[in-house]
Amino acid sequence: MTRIPAFATTVHGTGPGLLLAHGAGGSIEGNYAPILPALSAGHTVVAPDYPGSGATPRATGPLALDALADGIVAAANEAGLETFTLLGYSLGTLVSVRAAARYPERVRGLVLTAGLAKADNRTRASLFLWQRLLEQGDLEAFARFVALSGFGETFFNGLPEAAVGPFLELVERGVPAGAAEQAAVVGASDTTGDLAGISVPTLVIAPLQDTLVAPANSRFLADRIAGAEYAEIDTGHVPMAERPEEWQKLILDFLDRHEL
């Protein structure tokens, strides 16, 4: 049986609760650092790292979606949050939807960015390459794959030639130990059956240049969640790196509008 460690968690600010769920191969620092100051200016932000990311040790075996959902809610419990809005990114959208299904009385709202209910064929093919490169320990090639699949054409091609090498080195250094296990959760999960039960205010944000998780997946989420709002951002899979201020504004405007 897989042993799941307690999630290393940081807590920021005061106010209504926000519970963050990061992406596969990411971390709180990697996925939310640019917008954390603004989020915590008016909220209590609980920011847990999955096993193998940040300061959280790796699990002893495969990860499961329910365990990740339970883990982030346990972090909210430890921080004293009774209710919260979930901010999920990529894998974190699956985790957030499952947490909302398992703990409906705790969840006041959802913000789902670069999300999906189930991996499509393109995402599954990307996950295969992702995991194969990690198994081989070829982080140099992995960083290039992440650059091609994760970043938008406008951003990546807009880098000066002299900046590409340092940028790829930065991507390579940022790969967490648990990246492969986290990616496996994306391939194994399906939250389609959870969507109809969500009744809280929800914002779905689709990055239009995303080739890792196509925007059609976000449109599917918005169509299946009653009353969901849908917004687009002209980035690849990583709006926090490409257009953090615009991403932040979409989130904060939604939270303000619904008094979350």
Does 1 fall in a domain? no
Does 138 fall in a domain? no
237 catalytically annotated: yes
Q: Which of 90, 96, 126, 218 is catalytic?
A: 90
12 catalytically annotated: no
C-alpha span between 138 and 142 (Å, rounded): 6
Q: In what order do the strands lie in the sheet with 9-12?
A: 9-12, 44-48, 17-21, 84-89, 107-113, 202-207, 229-233
Does 140 fall in a domain? no
Give residue 1's pLDDT: 74
210 catalytically annotated: yes
- Per the listing, tokens 């670069």 go with 114
Does 105 fall in a domain? yes
Does 155 fall in a domain? no
Give residue 246's pLDDT: 99
Does 160 fall in a domain? no
Domain count, the chain: 1
Does 77 fall in a domain? yes
Cα angle: 51, vertex 56, 58; to 5 degrees: 45
Q: Which of 49, 96, 210, 218 is catalytic?
A: 210
Give residue 96's pLDDT: 99
- Domain limits at 36? 9-121+176-257
Q: What is the pLDDT along the chain (260 residues), one digit of tens a residue?
A: 788 999 999 999 999 999 999 999 999 999 999 999 999 999 999 999 999 999 999 999 999 999 999 999 999 999 999 999 999 999 999 999 999 999 999 999 999 999 999 999 999 999 999 999 999 999 999 999 999 999 999 999 999 999 999 999 999 999 999 999 999 999 999 999 999 999 999 999 999 999 999 999 999 999 999 999 999 999 999 999 999 999 999 999 999 999 99
C-alpha span between 90 and 27 (Å, rounded): 12
Give residue 2's pLDDT: 82
Q: Are 45 and 12 in contact (CB under 8 A)?
A: yes
CATH code of the domain in which 88 resides: 3.40.50.1820
Predicted model pTM: 0.97
Does 2 fall in a domain? no
